[in-house]
Structure formats: structure tokens, C-alpha cells
Amino acid sequence: MNASTDIDYARYDHIRPILWTGDSLQLLDQRKLPFVVEHVECRGSDAVAEAIHALTVRGAPAIGIAAAWGVVLAAAGVQAADGAQALAKLEPALQRLNAARPTAVNLAWALARMRRALALAGADWQQVLVTEAQAIADEDLAANRHMGALGAGLIEAGSGVLTHCNTGSLATAGFGTALGVIRAGMAQQRIAKVFAGETRPWLQGARLTVWELQQDGIDATLIADSAAAHLMKTGAVQWVIVGADRICANGDTANKIGTYQLAIAARHHGVKFMVVAPSSTVDMDTADGGQIEIEQRDPGELYGVGGTRTVAEGIAAWNPVFDVTPGSLIDAIVTERGVILNPTAVNMRAAFG
């Protein structure tokens, strides 16, 4: 039990998606959940880049952490007198990791942190990389637990909440961002009911979120994405709580496709909208959401469900997998550094410089 937050972390947080064994990275294969619980072993950085691209590991903080361990794997067998020399040799591998997915800033952030640590390292540069990767993972878990308490503090007892995509232990080092707030809100008995959207087309909500919550004994009710506005109209939810892949300098937030329409519906129905993400997701170098590269994935993801084709041959499909919610539709951004209410360029700068 944690005295400051009254949250029994051992009870509410069982799953770990990324395991470092000392010489390989074990990734819980999120393409196969919930019916097959299987790990993929990565022994090199290109295998990690491929796992990030293929969504074996996914979620903004988790792909940053996996990439950091990818750098450690790239370093195995490299001979260099110091970190600066090693960095020159490792740069192509770092660039391949960075190119694995474009939208979540945590990937570039984690690689920049590994680069900085390496540039300053001496002869023990290999150990420095291991220490830095572990620190990135440990700090993410600590940030999530802190954000859980901060975000839950905004929620009135008896509230219903709706979440989108998967922002839980599966998407992070543990506990989760938006799901961390939901775990904390459940533990503190503030949240009475949790709804999760399916999150077409990859079904992170249906395949991952409700399963993850079930592992921790938290009941969640699944809805079709298209049921969200109707749900809000019934008065059953007081907060929409989502994660983020990139938060811009003015509070505009990129997150899983469908988040923007939830924010519009929430504002229309007087439902509050909360974004929860570690400061590693804040990108003060991107002024607004118009400058974010939105990942486009294979249109084939829209042509079927569970491997069964549901769409006639010869149909075109458009598959952007993120959208941008304007800061003006967000009531609160929660990071481990604190809560920003009604984000603007001014209060974002005050918090993040």
C-alpha cells in the first residue's frame, strides 16, 4: 500500500509488456492478445525496430522504452574506446529505430536520451547504456503512479469514465497513463463505472484494455466507438480520459484515431476531457498539432475483423491511425509534473519552459 495515495499497486497492476533479460528483450506480443499470451524475443536492434513497426509492442511510452533497450542490443559486440566513438558506430541503428513509427514523440525522446548518455560516457559506455535504458523504464513507472494520483484527484466520487485505445500497463512500463488514473480512481472509489471504446481498426480497446483491466479485477464495459456520443447523452460518463502520443506547445494533442471526435462529443454534452501522459510525451518544439506527422497504416487493417475479410474486393480505404485534439477541447492535461487546466501556449510554457 502506498501511504500518500492509498493505492495498492500490487493489487491493481499485474502486467508487464517489456522484459530485459540481460542479453535480450522479451516483448509481450500485443498482436495476439487476449487469447494468446506469448513473448517475442528480440536479440538485435533491427528486431526491436520491426517489433515497434509491427505493433508487437505499442503505446507511446512503451515504444520509447523498447527503443532504448534496442540501443543496448545494437551496442553488443561493438568495440569503441568511449561513448563518442561508439555513438558514431551506433548512429545507423539509432536512425532505423527512430524511423519505426512517426507520431509518438517518446520514441525520438528516448533515443535522444540514449544519445546524450552515450556522448558523455567513457570506457564503460556499454554499462552506461544499460543504466540509462533501465532509468527510462523506472522513471516511466514512477511517473504513471504519480499521474494516477493527480488525475484521480480531479474526479468526483461516483463518476463514470470513458477511455479510448489502450493506455495501460501494456502501453507503458506499468500502471499506465489514462488507465493509471482509472486504476487510481477505482482504488480510491471515485470511479463507479468504466467504459472502453473498441478502437477500430486495431481494436486496442476491445482486445487489450478490457482484458488488461480484467486481469486486475476491474470491470469495464465495452462499447462500439460509434456508441460514444449516445453514451454521453445518457449522463453515464462525467470524464473522458485518454493518453497521448504527442502534446504540442499549445496543448494540441495527437492520440489514437477517434480521440478528436470523443473530445467534440464530450464538449457538446458537458463531459470533461482529460489527457494523461508523462512529460516525455510533451514536445515543446512542435508549436501546434498541424505540424505533427500522422502515421498512415495499411488500408488492409480496415478490410476485415480477426483475419476474416468483411469488405468486398476493390474498395479503397484511408487509414490514418492518429488524430489531433485541439488544446481548446481539453479540460486537463496531467503529467507527472502536475495538472494543467485548460491548456494554452502560455500555461504550457509556464509548466514546460
Which residues belong to the active site? 245
- How many residues bind ligand MRU (CB under 6 A)? The answer is 17
Q: Does 60 bind ligand MRU (CB under 6 A)?
A: yes
Q: Does 165 bind ligand MRU (CB under 6 A)?
A: yes
Q: Does 146 bind ligand MRU (CB under 6 A)?
A: no
- Applying CB under 6 A, among 25, 33, 121, 321 the residue interacting with ligand MRU is 321
CB of 139 to ligand MRU, least distance (A): 14
Cβ proximity to ligand MRU: between 84 and 264 the closer is 264
CB of 312 to ligand MRU, least distance (A): 27
Residue nearest to ligand MRU (CB): 243
CA distance 313 to 94: 39
Span interacting with ligand MRU, options 111-119, 126-134, 163-171, 266-274, rule CB under 6 A:
163-171
Cβ proximity to ligand MRU: between 42 and 63 the closer is 63
Q: Do you know the residue count of the chain?
A: 353
The strands making up 18-20's β-sheet, listed across from edge to edge, are 18-20, 25-28, 39-42
CA distance 172 to 140: 7
* 239-278 positions binding ligand MRU, by CB under 6 A: 243-245, 255-256
CB of 82 to ligand MRU, least distance (A): 35
Within 10 angstroms of residue 340's Cβ, the number of other Cβ atoms is 23
CB of 95 to ligand MRU, least distance (A): 20
CB of 39 to ligand MRU, least distance (A): 18
- Applying CB under 6 A, among 167, 250, 286, 335 the residue interacting with ligand MRU is 167
Cβ proximity to ligand MRU: between 178 and 348 the closer is 178
CB of 234 to ligand MRU, least distance (A): 24
- Applying CB under 6 A, among 45, 56, 177, 335 the residue interacting with ligand MRU is 177
Per the DSSP assignment, residues forming a β-bridge with 216 are none
Cβ proximity to ligand MRU: between 1 and 222 the closer is 222
Residue showing cell 470524464: 239
Residues 20-59, mask of contacts with ligand MRU (x by CB under 6 A): --------------------------------------xx
Span interacting with ligand MRU, options 114-122, 129-137, 170-178, 342-350, rule CB under 6 A:
170-178
CB of 24 to ligand MRU, least distance (A): 22
CA distance 89 to 107: 20
For helices 125-152 and 83-98, give the axis angle rounded to 10 degrees.
50
CA distances from 61 to 17, 39, 93, 277 (A): 11, 19, 20, 9
Cβ proximity to ligand MRU: between 209 and 238 the closer is 209
* 186-205 positions binding ligand MRU, by CB under 6 A: 204
Residues of this chain that interact with ligand MRU (CB under 6 A) are 58-61, 104, 165, 167, 171-172, 177, 204, 243-245, 255-256, 321
